[in-house]
Amino acid sequence: MCILSIGGGEILLILFAVLMLFGANSIPDVAKTVGKVMREFNKATDEIKKEFNDATSDIRKDLNDVTSDIRKDLNNVSDTVKKDIQDIKDDADVFKDSTK
């Protein structure tokens, strides 16, 4: 995902502004500084992402465990209900046969 969407015209305008503000002799130093700043920014962003993922990994694990437990409980309830329904049908069949 690109945050800044700039085209050729905008780049030329930026380069012209840098040339006018800093002069031709200091452009390499400015570019080096901008590169360092961008590198540090990316490093900080990666560290924040890593810390966030580390902090939320326990929460994700807990949610997965709870979800698994709920599924097991629902399956047990479903099996019990099916068994009870079958028992009722069997009892109804026995009652029906005994009233004939």
Alpha carbons within 13 A on the beta-carbon side of 44? 6
Backbone dihedral region for residue 9 (phi beyond 0: left; psi -120 to 50: alpha; all else: beta): alpha
Q: Is residue 12 part of a domain?
A: no
Rounded to two decimals, what is the model's pTM? 0.47
pLDDT, one tens digit per residue, over 57-77 is: 989 999 999 999 999 999 999
70 part of a folded domain: yes
Q: How many CA atoms lie within 13 Å of 31's alpha carbon, on the beta-carbon side?
A: 9
Condensed to tens digits (0 to 9), the pLDDT of residues 7-49 reads 888 888 888 888 888 888 888 888 898 899 999 999 999 999 9
Q: How far apart are CA 39 and CA 58, in angstroms?
A: 30
Q: How many domains does the chain have?
A: 1
**What domain range is 59 assigned to?**
26-98
Cα gap 90→56, rounded to integer Å: 51
Return mean pLDDT, the chain.
Answer: 88
pLDDT of residue 3: 55
Residue 3 resides in a domain: no
**Percentage with pLDDT > 90 across the chain:** 51
pLDDT tens digits, one per residue of 12-22: 888 888 888 88
Residues 30 and 20: their CA atoms lie apart, in Å, by: 13
